[in-house]
Copies of this chain bind each other. A is one copy, B any other.
Amino acid sequence: MNIVNSKLGTPPFAILPCMDARHISGEMPAKASSAEKLARLRAELARQGVAGFVVPRADEHQGEYVPPSAARLAWLTGFTGSAGLAVVLRDKAAVFVDGRYTLQAEAQVDSALYERRHLVEQPATDWIAANLKAGEALGYDPWLLTPGEVERYRAACVRAGGTLAPLAANPVDAIWRDRPAAPTTPAVPHPLEFAGQSSDDKRRALAQRLVSDKLDAAVLTAPDSIAWLLNIRGGDVEYSPLPLSFAILHADASVDLFIDRRKLSPALAGHLGKQVRHSEPAAFGNALAVLGKAKKRVLADPATCASWIFDRLSESGATIQRGADPCQLPKACKNAAELAGTRQAHRRDGAALTRFLAWLAREASGGKLTEIGASDRLEQFRSDGDHFKGLSFPTISGAGANGAVVHYRASRESERRLEPGTLYLVDSGAQYLDGTTDVTRTVAIGNPSAEMRDRFTRVLKGHIALASCRFPQGTTGSQLDTLARTPLWEAGLDYDHGTGHGVGSYLGVHEGPQRISKTPNAQPLLPGMIVSDEPGYYKTGEYGIRIENLIVVTPVHGANTNGKPMLDFETLTLAPYDRTLIEPALLDANEAAWIDAYHARVRTKLTPLVDKETAAWLAAATRKLSSA
């Protein structure tokens, strides 16, 4: 499942469990058959004078979330997974998906039309090199590929004796007759009490960095970066409160914002202030050209900015400085108000999850609960809480063998009942005005087997090892990943996904640049960064175990004896672990004490927020491990 060769796999969260469940949930219009669409696309390609076309999953923002209007891969091929790619040539076509989506692609994509290939092991570049004919041109939409991707596809075309050609108009859009409109959900101000820093201050701080780096401007296309910088939120994509837009930050701290005017209320314009000028997205290209003509030095992030932007800047004469999106790091390091908010959000979220777990303990023994019934109930408990704005990703509600499918998403056809003798895995989270949550608990339905208890306890030991470690400043998440795995390794076990992803503050449930993963990541963990701590174990066809809390990097005062500041983690998530799955003989004294202290904190913090029946259940669920 490790995806390293494709952009679709390079976002920091790509191999984490809840990412895997991200599908396009809306139904695609099924008026035209896949065969008709493919035929129409080929005709359009012929009209534009190219032999083929690359259809990535990404939209113009290169982000994790794609609105229905940009779900071109799903519309064309039927494949609705969160990562993938199609390449269409005159006489053949192929869809590339990774191991998580092999079965789904088989069910969704017509094999008479598309070869189905492995995104990593059988890369599209090899297929292009083998199948494009000499002299042919392969088209691409420069809005949908990054500069690095363009270079890789170009090299593949050269290997075939062909060329790679940017197309001015996306040929899928040209034939997509019933294409949904682009979203126009109004954007709203994000109050200072939650943001903790005014947009003015954020813009001035970033502008100062531009000045000291001798840069005139920075291009921003990542929706969460723009939302963070301007203290605005929106609703253009699912599960994440993002308005889609583009922006240019200037060295004088002013911003040009390119956003559909229907998203802009007068109140929002007032919130943005005079330093933020707004115009329609169509004006973005011209604004880039103006920078170029004035010979400006412009920062652009090759991981998040479309190739189109680089092309426009360089052909108009700008000097491009390639570098990370300047919002990424300050956004990742939460300020005091954001941390206070997320602690509150986690308390409410923990109360809702605890009500759910207590309900589950009462109801599940009957063996009648279903996966969707359970997750609906959990959503209902959450929606009772203050500041609740929706889920932060589609709940993974997996009973028995379904829990072993890391990216599982229950459907009416797939769902199982929660039956005695099985495990139930629930990975869920919510968006609150004051914070974003993401938590996984694994619960025994009836009596668990000795093996289940062994495996659960090993996963818990890894989870504790990460949560309780102390480390010197400068340490990266890659260095800590191993701590969560060694208790499993000792038994010849492992899990095939990352251990932790960054989490936003009422923003994306997945954000960079930090990450806890065996894949190298050069970003040191810094105070205020929130990451998930979610080791797991999956026995295919039988059960899945994952335990996830969010934790935040915290300075350890006075702990350094060698001149190097030390850091550790504060655990944000509040919800009991299932005691019936813990095998105390596998724990050392420190681990048992850690669990008891955590459970005591959960009880203290949550009891005031739950009903009496839940409180009674919670008291029992959080009693010391040494008590019967």
**CB within 8 Å of B: which residues of A?**
469-472, 475-476, 478-483, 486, 489-494, 518, 520, 522, 556, 559-562, 564, 566, 588
Contacts and interface: CB of A to CB of B under 8 A. Distances in A.
23 contacts: A469-B486, A469-B489, A470-B489, A470-B492, A472-B489, A472-B494, A475-B518, A476-B518, A478-B478, A478-B520, A479-B482, A480-B482, A482-B483, A483-B486, A489-B566, A491-B561, A492-B559, A492-B560, A492-B562, A492-B564, A494-B562, A520-B520, A588-B588
Given A478-B479, A482-B482, A494-B562, 6 more contacts: A470-B490, A470-B492, A472-B489, A480-B482, A492-B556, A588-B588
B588 A494 contact: no
Nearest to A483: B482
A142 to B, nearest CB: 27
A522 B2 CA distance: 13
A560 B588 CA distance: 24
Q: Which 5 A-B pairs have the closest CB atoms?
A: A520-B520, A492-B559, A492-B561, A492-B560, A479-B482
A494 B491 CA distance: 29
Contacts of A561: 491-493
Contacts of A559: 492
A489 B471 contact: yes
Nearest to A566: B492
Nearest to A490: B470
A515 to B, nearest CB: 13
Contacts of A562: 492-494
B479 A481 contact: yes
A149 to B, nearest CB: 21
Contacts of A479: 478, 481-482, 518
Contacts of A520: 478, 520, 522
A480 to B, nearest CB: 6
- Copies of this chain in its oligomeric complex: 2
A592 to B, nearest CB: 14
A4 to B, nearest CB: 9
A482 B562 CA distance: 18
Nearest to A564: B494
A588 B587 CA distance: 13
Contacts of A475: 518
Contacts of A480: 482
Pick the most buried of A483, A494, A588: most chain B CB atoms within 10 A of its CB: A494
A478 to B, nearest CB: 7
A297 to B, nearest CB: 14
Contacts of A556: 492
- Residue from A469, A479, A522, A562 with most neighbouring chain B CB atoms (10 Å): A562
A318 to B, nearest CB: 18
Nearest to A2: B474
A476 to B, nearest CB: 8
Contacts of A560: 492
A613 B472 CA distance: 45
A464 to B, nearest CB: 13
Contacts of A482: 479-480, 482-483
A551 B480 CA distance: 23
Nearest to A588: B588
A308 to B, nearest CB: 27
Contacts of A481: 479
Contacts of A493: 561-562
A560 B494 CA distance: 10
Contacts of A566: 489, 492
Contacts of A471: 489
Contacts of A476: 518
Contacts of A489: 469-472, 566
A566 B489 CA distance: 8
A123 B418 CA distance: 62
A426 to B, nearest CB: 23
Contacts of A490: 470
Contacts of A472: 489, 494
Candidate in A470, A472, A482 with the most chain B CB atoms within 10 angstroms? A482
A493 B492 CA distance: 31
A491 B492 CA distance: 30
A480 B520 CA distance: 13
Nearest to A472: B494
Contacts of A492: 470, 556, 559-562, 564, 566
Contacts of A483: 482, 486
Contacts of A470: 489-490, 492
A457 to B, nearest CB: 16
The residue in A476, A556, A561 that gathers the most chain B C-beta atoms within 10 A of its C-beta is A561
A477 B526 CA distance: 24
Contacts of A491: 561
A479 B520 CA distance: 9
Greatest chain B CB density within 10 A among A476, A478, A492, A518 is at A492
A322 B556 CA distance: 46
A231 to B, nearest CB: 36
A466 to B, nearest CB: 11
A255 to B, nearest CB: 30
A494 B480 CA distance: 15
Contacts of A518: 475-476, 479
Nearest to A468: B490
Contacts of A494: 472, 562, 564
